[in-house]
C-alpha cells in the first residue's frame, strides 16, 4: 500500500523503491503488464496516491550474464530463501561504470547457490547496499518472493540496523537524533547533502559509546531510521561529527587514521523477519582489523601522560 512518502510519485519510480530493483526493471514489469494498481494495469507515468495498492508479479528468474569470481567473502548464514554475509570494506556492491567486475555480486555468484537473476541480472539478490568503504552485515535474497518481502521491510523501516562509527568531535550530549532531509548536493553530483533542492526525509539516532578526548574523537553506536544514500556520513558530518577517514564528508586525516583507507563505519548488526517462516533473525559482524587497529591507537593515546 502506498504511504505518504511515495504519494505523488510515478508508478515506475515508486515500484523500484518498494521492490528494491532498478527503475528500468520496474518499467519492464509494467510494460509486460505484470504490475497492477488497485487491481488494474497501469502506465509507468501514473501518479500514485496515498492508499493505492500496488501489486507486482515478477517474471521467472533469468540467468545472469555476470561472472562468478572467487573473491573472499564471509558467509554468516544461508538457507533456501536468503544468505547473510559480512561485507569487507573496499568492495563495491554491484557492477557499475568503472567497476564492471570484482564486485560483491561477482563474489556472491561464486559463494551462494541458486542466486543468479533474482532481483535483476545486474544486481542478483541485492536487497540493500552498503557504501564501498563500509564493512559489515548484509542480507541477500535467493528468491523473488524473498526479495520483495525483504525490500518491503526495508521500505517500511522495520529492519533493525546498528552501526559502529568512529568520528571526530566532542558532542556535549551523550546521545541524540538527527532529522534532516537528504538529497543530491546542489553543485556536486557525487555528494549527498542536507542542503539540497529535492531532499527526502531522513532520521538517524546516535549514542556515544566511548570518548577519546586527547584525540578529539568518539566511538558511536548509530541507528539509521531511514535508508538514504550516504545517510550516516551526511548526518554525522552535518552534526559536527564527521567520520574518521571520510575524505568526502570529513576533513584531512590525522596520525590516528594512517593506514585507514575508508570511512570508519561498520554495519555491526542486522535484524529482520525471515520472509518465509516469519522467524525473527539477528546477525552480528565483529569490527574488522582496520577499525580494531584504529580503536587501539585511540586508546593508546588516552593512556599517554
Q: Measuring CA to CA, how many Å separate 144 from each of 80, 156, 163, 226? A: 12, 18, 28, 23
**What is the CATH topology of the domain spanning 74-156?**
Pseudouridine synthase (3.30.2350)
Q: What is the DSSP letter of 286?
A: P
Confidence check: pLDDT of 214 > 50 = yes
**Cell digits of residue 61:** 528468474
Please give the Cα distance from 240 to 169 (Å, whole number). 7
> Taking the domain 161-267+289-303, which CATH number applies?
3.30.2350.10
Q: What is the DSSP letter of 29?
A: H
Cβ proximity of 57 and 145 under 8 Å: no
Cβ proximity of 58 and 32 under 8 Å: no
Confidence check: pLDDT of 285 > 60 = yes
pTM of the model: 0.79
Q: Average per-residue pLDDT in the chain?
A: 87
Task: State the alpha helices, DSSP H only, in 156-257.
Answer: 231-238
In this structure, of 19-23, 50-54, 267-271, the range with the lowest mean pLDDT score is 19-23
Position 232 scores a pLDDT of 97
**Cell digits of residue 98:** 568503472
**Cell digits of residue 238:** 552535518
Residues noted as catalytic = 131
Q: Where in the chain is the domain with CATH 3.10.290.10?
A: 11-56
Return the bridge partners of 267, or none: 136, 163
Cβ proximity of 146 and 276 under 8 Å: yes
Please give the Cα distance from 37 to 119 (Å, whole number). 21
Task: State the alpha helices, DSSP H only, in the chain.
Answer: 11-19, 23-31, 104-111, 144-155, 231-238, 289-303
Task: Using alpha carbons, select from 166, 91, 170, 99 the residue that is nearest to residue 131.
Answer: 91
Dihedral angle computed from the Cα positions of residues 131, 132, 138 and 141, in that order, rounded to the nearest 10 degrees? 100
pLDDT classification of 123: cutoffs 50, 70, 90: low
pLDDT classification of 63: cutoffs 50, 70, 90: very low
Q: Where in the chain is the domain with CATH 3.30.2350.10?
A: 74-156, 161-267+289-303
Confidence check: pLDDT of 97 > 80 = no
**What is the CATH topology of the domain spanning 11-56?**
3.10.290
Cβ partners under 8 Å of residue 292, min gap 6: none
Confidence check: pLDDT of 150 > 80 = yes
**Cell digits of residue 26:** 520496474
Average of pLDDT values for 38-53? Answer: 86
Amino acid at each position: 500500500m502506498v504511504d505518504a512518502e511515495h504519494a505523488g510519485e510515478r508508478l515506475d519510480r515508486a515500484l523500484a523503491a518498494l521492490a528494491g530493483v532498478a527503475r528500468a526493471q520496474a518499467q519492464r514489469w509494467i510494460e509486460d503488464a505484470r504490475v497492477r494498481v488497485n487491481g488494474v494495469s497501469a502506465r509507468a507515468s501514473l501518479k500514485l496516491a496515498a492508499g493505492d495498492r500496488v501489486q507486482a508479479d515478477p517474471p521467472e528468474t533469468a540467468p545472469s550474464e555476470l561472472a562468478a569470481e572467487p573473491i573472499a567473502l564471509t558467509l554468516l548464514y544461508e538457507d533456501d530463501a536468503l544468505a547473510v554475509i559480512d561485507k569487507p570494506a573496499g568492495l563495491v556492491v554491484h557492477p557499475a561504470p568503472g567497476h564492471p567486475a570484482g564486485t560483491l555480486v561477482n563474489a556472491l555468484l561464486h559463494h551462494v547457490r541458486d542466486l543468479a537473476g533474482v532481483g535483476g541480472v545486474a544486481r542478483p539478490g541485492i536487497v540493500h547496499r552498503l557504501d564501498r568503504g563500509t564493512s559489515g552485515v548484509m542480507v541477500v535474497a535467493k528468491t523473488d518472493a524473498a526479495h520483495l518481502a525483504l525490500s518491503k521491510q526495508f521500505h517500511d523501516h522495520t529492519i533493525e540496523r546498528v552501526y559502529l562509527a568512529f568520528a571526530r568531535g566532542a558532542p556535549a550530549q551523550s546521545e541524540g537524533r538527527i532529522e534532516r532531509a537528504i538529497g543530491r548536493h546542489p553543485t556536486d553530483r557525487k555528494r549527498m547533502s542536507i542542503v539540497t533542492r529535492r531532499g527526502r526525509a531522513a532520521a538517524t539516532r546516535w549514542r556515544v559509546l566511548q570518548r577519546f578526548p586527547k584525540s578529539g574523537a568518539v566511538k558511536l553506536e548509530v541507528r539509521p531510521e531511514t535508508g538514504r544514500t550516504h545517510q550516516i556520513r551526511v548526518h554525522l558530518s552535518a552534526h559536527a561529527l564527521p567520520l574518521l577517514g571520510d575524505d568526502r564528508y570529513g576533513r584531512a586525516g590525522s596520525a590516528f587514521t594512517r593506514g585507514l583507507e575508508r570511512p570508519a563505519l561498520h554495519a555491526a548488526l542486522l535484524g529482520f523477519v525471515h520472509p518465509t517462516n516469519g522467524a525473527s533473525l539477528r546477525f552480528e559482524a565483529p569490527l574488522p582489523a582496520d577499525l580494531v587497529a584504529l580503536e587501539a591507537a585511540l586508546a593508546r593515546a588516552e593512556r599517554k601522560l
